[in-house]
Structure 1
Amino acid sequence: MIVIINKSGQLANRLFLMANFIAFSNAHEIKIYNPSFDEYAKFFEKTSPQALVRFPISTNSKWRMPYTDIIRSMVYQVIYKAVRVLEKLNIYESTIHCILDIGLYQKMPLDSAKFINLARKKKFLLCKGWAFRDETNFSLAADIIKPYFKPLPCYLTQAITIANSARSSENTLLVGVHIRRGDYKTFLNGKYFFPLSVYISYINKVQSLFPGRDIKFIVCSNETIDVRVFKGYDVVLEERNMVVDLALLAACDYIIGPPSTFSIWASYYGDVPLYKIENEQEQVITLDKFTIHGK
């Protein structure tokens, strides 16, 4: 079995991490356990009942039991601390276990012979890091990954209601605008921490791509924004749960935003063309620059 030990980033980072392991598990029939998904498991239909997030799902994990959230957190703490003890004792490998720590940015191909052999050889393969990727099987497993991470009805219904309300006619086009602020001020020295004026400039450029269409911009952000900033544009903006935002972006026709796993996951989950805002000075936006992640 494979156990994902550490918490690499926020929600979307961990969705992609688990999704790649699901693709690997589905291809090689090796069980995955992910205690590090504990605080986000409550948002999704398949993971919400699980005291220990896993794939394939246990037949005993169909019904949510009392105190599941607390139990998940306790399970994570116990497993994480046990691994820390092994690391402090410098016991990184034995006949039954191996701690595989790839760091934050080093990439580990799950479809490599090296990893597959290690996963089959060790009873407990304890994985630490974020860039575990199965490029061979990820796209093939979309029909398994997406249902696994279907949001609970309370979040999905809210997102669909907002999208349907905004989509007032057949001529309406919904464009999701992911404004990543907050932590992006320091991430990569603020490379993608754009002022709101940059987003407004891109909104204007996107609007020019669809003359004659009724375009509504669905704005999602991790920072409170005054809607008056977008004066002159038809904007839907309110504070929402992050999972509602994720499902709402996935319900749009197009998405724009800086490079972020949040908008990339929405593109993947909803098969929505995404344009990545990578600099402040982009002069021309064309439709061929929008791509769907995983396609």
Structure 2
Amino acid sequence: MMIIARRYGQLGNRLFLYAHLIAAARHYGVELRNPCFAEYAALFPSTRDDLWCRYATHLSGRSNDTGSGRAPSQTVRLGLMHGIQAMAKTMNAVGMRDYPAKVIRLRSGQECDLEGDQFRSAVESGRTLLLQGWLFRSPRLLQNHWSHIRDFFAVSADDQNAIGSTMQQARRASDVVVGVHIRRGDYAEFQGGRYYFDDRLYANWMRSVCDQLPGRTVQFLVCSHERLNPQHFAGLNITPGPGTALRDMYALAETDWMMGPPSTFTAWAAFVGRKPRVELQSCEQTVVVPNPFAEPAAA
């Protein structure tokens, strides 16, 4: 089996690492466990009751119904996560990288090709793999197994109902729904505030979208973790996101296309919803409406 043995980042980062390794688990026919999904396990029906956050639905006679029907406490989840992380780190430090399990630990910025010879050899050795690193990647496998990944990370009925209600409101009397992710908070410091944009910039980008879609009613689904001043967005049709990180992310996945600063938050929404995404890279950027939405409206 493969075990993700170190946590990286917040929800979007965790989902992408998990998803790439789900794709690899399906490709090689092995089980995957992710105790390092501890903080987010309760968000998804597929992981809510399973301490190990297993993925084994692709294995003969196996299912992901491995829980007891009662969700483990967060204390127990975090204890397992920290224990697995410490064990893998210690094994790597003392040179025990191949016994009793094989540790694959990536340096910062180092990427591991999940279809490469080295990783394939490690899987085929039959040993349990303890994986520590962010860039375990295979874009091809990720796309090949998209439908299974999407199904595994389906949200609960309550969350979907809230998302559906928000999207129904957004689509009422509108021709195009554009998702807007306004992320600030930690972005004030990240890379020197490079992607920290004020309301004026977001509003200007949104108005430029409307200018490119004459004759169409554009509704903006705006998702942010902070309260926004509506005066800064005067004249724009805005529907607020459902209000939690998960619901906002999955509501963005149901828009026609979305824009926001570089973030795995919108990247995951675009991936799971298979929708276009425009990254806002700088204050000077011009937003161009992606095709086919930029085509003239029918007469």
TM-score normalised to the size of structure 1? 0.90
The correspondence for 1:268, drawn from 267, 271, 284, is 271
Question: What is residue 243 of structure 2 aligned with on the other side?
Answer: 240
Kept in 2, the 8 Å contact 1:250–1:271? The answer is yes
Structure 2 CA distance for partners of 1:67 and 1:47, relative to 1, 3 Å = closer
Amino acid paired to 2:51: A
Kept in 2, the 8 Å contact 1:224–1:239? The answer is no
Mean Cα deviation higher: 155-164 or 227-236: 227-236
Question: What is residue 11 of structure 2 aligned with on the other side?
Answer: 11
Structure 2 residue matching 1:137: 3-state secondary structure: helix
Superposition pairs of residues 1-295 of structure 1, within 5 angstroms: 1-57=1-57, 59=63, 60-61=65-66, 64-88=69-93, 90-121=94-125, 123-169=127-173, 171-237=174-240, 240-283=243-286, 285-288=288-291
Structure 2 CA distance for partners of 1:87 and 1:107, relative to 1, 3 Å = closer
Cα offset, 1:53, TM superposition: 0.7
Q: CA RMSD in A?
A: 2.1
Kept in 2, the 8 Å contact 1:108–1:132? The answer is yes
Cα offset, 1:252, TM superposition: 0.8
Structure 2 CA distance for partners of 1:238 and 1:19, relative to 1, 3 Å = closer
- For 1:92 and 1:219, the matched residues in 2 are separated by 49
- For 2:291 and 2:170, the matched residues in 1 are separated by 25
Stretches of structure 2 lacking an aligned partner (at least 5 in a row): 294-299
- For 2:189 and 2:66, the matched residues in 1 are separated by 39
Kept in 2, the 8 Å contact 1:97–1:122? The answer is no
Structure 2 residue matching 1:199: 3-state secondary structure: helix
- For 2:287 and 2:229, the matched residues in 1 are separated by 27
> For each residue in 1:212-264, what CA deviation from the matched residue of structure 2 results, as whole angstroms up to 9, or x when unmatched?
21211111113332233211111123671100101110111110111111101
Cα offset, 1:66, TM superposition: 4.5
Structure 2 CA distance for partners of 1:266 and 1:275, relative to 1, 3 Å = same
- For 1:197 and 1:9, the matched residues in 2 are separated by 29
Structure 2 CA distance for partners of 1:125 and 1:69, relative to 1, 3 Å = same
Structure 1 residue matching 2:102: 3-state secondary structure: strand
Amino acid paired to 2:156: L
Kept in 2, the 8 Å contact 1:8–1:104? The answer is no
Kept in 1, the 8 Å contact 2:39–2:74? The answer is yes
> For each residue in 1:74-116, what CA deviation from the matched residue of structure 2 results, as whole angstroms up to 9, or x when unmatched?
321222232343345x134134322222133221111101111
Kept in 2, the 8 Å contact 1:175–1:215? The answer is yes
- For 2:180 and 2:292, the matched residues in 1 are separated by 16
Kept in 1, the 8 Å contact 2:205–2:286? The answer is no
Structure 2 CA distance for partners of 1:220 and 1:69, relative to 1, 3 Å = same
Kept in 1, the 8 Å contact 2:242–2:251? The answer is no
Kept in 2, the 8 Å contact 1:34–1:52? The answer is yes
Kept in 2, the 8 Å contact 1:3–1:124? The answer is yes
Structure 2 residue matching 1:127: 3-state secondary structure: strand
Amino acid paired to 2:133: G
Kept in 1, the 8 Å contact 2:177–2:256? The answer is yes
Structure 1 residue matching 2:36: 3-state secondary structure: helix
Mean Cα deviation higher: 268-277 or 17-26: 268-277
Identity of aligned residues (%): 27
- For 2:149 and 2:98, the matched residues in 1 are separated by 32
Kept in 2, the 8 Å contact 1:42–1:69? The answer is no
TM-score normalised to the size of structure 2? 0.89
Structure 2 CA distance for partners of 1:237 and 1:150, relative to 1, 3 Å = same
